[in-house]
Structure 1
Amino acid sequence: MYSLIDPENADTREFDGEAPTLLDIGSNLDAERMRPSVWRYRKGEENAYHRQGEQEELYVVLEGTVDVTIEREDRRDVVKLTPGEVLVVPPESWRQLRAAEESRVLVVGAPNVEDDGILEE
């Protein structure tokens, strides 16, 4: 069995006035082991600085450019992602995505754990 969806037909979810707008493709695809979504950013928008409890996250830029700040132990990097580039971030690394221009990013978290994000206090 397989599932297919056009992300533009997925349910849209907002985060109480925070960026990004989430296209919830995962619930439409009935994914069991991963949690896919498409994040839609306006220029200059950024998501909350966070890390994950269990999820490893894969980011694929579909359009636009995003700067990803990643912090591990004593090191902080900013990685510029352009269309087609792929980045994987382990759960324990703090991260934040900021759109340099209007952008869409495919985000896949695994395992499929709901509300796994941990925000900085």
Structure 2
Amino acid sequence: MGYQVLDPEAIDPTPDRPCVHRAVGDAAGLSELAINVYEADPGEQLPLAYHYHDEQEEAFYVLEGELAVETPEREYSVDAGELFVADPESPHRAHNPDDAAAAVRVLAIGAPPVEDDAHPYEPER
């Protein structure tokens, strides 16, 4: 058996990201689940790009603020205490809009954590 208690704030942010990203699952040594904490100021996006996954299910639980999630069909507004879920092969871009009043803090969970599973998505304009 094994147990851990981690403080996400004690995990160094991942360099070269569009916002503050802490890889909590990596720090915990998880192999079956990806867990990340994001903190995005107004105008910042969470993932590196508008994207979709082949196999991974992805969920964003908003801890603080309001998250905007762009999809090909519409843009969702996700308030603190709400959960946004993206099924595999469902393009999405999570971000904090330029005109947001405050930063957003999000717990992102994905499973399975498949390597090379994220693909850029170019929306038709």
Considering the TM-score relative to the shorter chain, is it more than 0.5?
yes
Query: What CA distance in whole angstroms lies between the structure 2 residues aligned with 1:85 and 1:98?
Result: 15
Residue identity matched to 1:10 = I
Instruction: Confirm whether residue 21 of structure 1 aligns to residue 12 of structure 2.
Output: no
Q: How far apart are residue 38 of structure 1 and its match? A: 0.6
Among the aligned pairs, what percent are the same residue?
Answer: 34
**Residue matched to 2:91:** 94
Note the alpha carbon deviations across 1:4-60, whole angstroms, 9 max, x for none. 211101121033xx5122111111212221100111111121242111122110100
RMSD, matched Cα: 1.6
Identify unmatched segments of 5+ residues in structure 1: none
TM-score normalised to structure 2 length:
0.82
**In 2 relative to 1, CA 8–115 (structure 1 residues): closer, same or farther, beyond 3 Å?**
farther
Note the alpha carbon deviations across 1:48-104, whole angstroms, 9 max, x for none. 211112211010011111111123xxxx12111111101111120110012133111
Query: What CA distance in whole angstroms lies between the structure 2 residues aligned with 1:115 and 1:38?
Result: 20
Identify unmatched segments of 5+ residues in structure 2: none
**Residue matched to 2:8:** 7
Q: Secondary structure at the match of 2:9?
A: helix
Q: Secondary structure at the match of 1:19?
A: coil
Residue identity matched to 2:32 = R
Query: What CA distance in whole angstroms lies between the structure 1 residues aligned with 2:119 and 2:5?
Result: 30
Q: Secondary structure at the match of 1:84?
A: coil
Instruction: Confirm whether residue 41 of structure 1 aligns to residue 40 of structure 2.
Output: yes
Q: Secondary structure at the match of 1:27?
A: helix
Residue identity matched to 1:65 = E
TM-score normalised to structure 1 length:
0.85
Instruction: Confirm whether residue 120 of structure 1 aligns to residue 121 of structure 2.
Output: yes
Query: What CA distance in whole angstroms lies between the structure 2 residues aligned with 1:115 and 1:103?
Result: 27
